[in-house]
Structure 1
């Protein structure tokens, strides 16, 4: 079954959003590394790669369904933050925005009565719950630890597999 043009366009918009997310987290990784936070940098590099993989997964799905993937220009991302906590505050806000984008993608699949897309998108809906929780847990660590303990958070994040 081929997907409708409306569904294809919605996926292409989400692919662009995933690539923007990848760039945002890559920039955060570079910034953290410049600031000397190896663990935070490592966590963000992995996050960037995960977002790029989401874009690739969605692109492959569109192609399997007979659709066309159309890459577009990606806007520049923010390049610096006041401190590590601010970067994670921005990360949570971004993940909450992505949740909204994924929900809108699911709405299009519902409107188009596209069960294959509905099924495919469901994993991303579930993943967004996990993404928001993970970032909130990091922010909770900032709230519960003294400013001198930020290095502990950094060390913990370096262990991400």
Structure 2
């Protein structure tokens, strides 16, 4: 069954959102690196790679279903934050918005009874639960340590060891 045009359209919008997310995280990574927090910068670089892999997973799906991928320009992303807590609060807010976008993709697929796309998107629904929980945990830790001192140093050091694992291939 060929990909429904409404589904194709919303998935193309989501691809753009995934690439915007990648730029968003890369912007945060460069900001953090410029501010001496290379571990936090590494954490954001891994997020950049994850978002890029999410976009590619959608591109591959559209192609497999006989649809057409149409890439649109990426809107400007923020480049300044007040502090590390603000960065992760923005991250959580962004991930909550992405959850809403993914849910809308699912709604469109359900509306046109495209069960293959609904099934495909379940991976993204589950991913968003993990993303929001992970960022919430970091925010809680930052608040616990007061975003400074030895605690911040230890978190930065810990985040240097984070590596990208392409879970879209699993």
TM-score, normalised by the number of residues in structure 1: 0.98
Unmatched runs of 5 consecutive residues or more in structure 2:
164-170
1:53 aligns with 2:53: yes
Q: Describe how 1:3-152 pairs up with structure 2 within 5 A.
A: 3-146=3-146, 147-148=148-149, 149-152=151-154
Unmatched runs of 5 consecutive residues or more in structure 1:
none
TM-score, normalised by the number of residues in structure 2: 0.93
Quote the Cα distance in structure 2 between the aligned partners of 1:159 and 1:2: 43
User: How much is the aligned-residue C-alpha RMSD, in angstroms?
Assistant: 0.7
Q: Secondary structure at the match of 1:127?
A: helix
Query: May I ask how many residue pairs the two structures share in their alignment?
Result: 161
Q: Deviations over 1:36-64 (max 9, x none)?
A: 10100000001001001100100110010
What is the CA distance between 1:150 and its match in structure 2?
Answer: 1.4
Moved over 4 A (4+): none
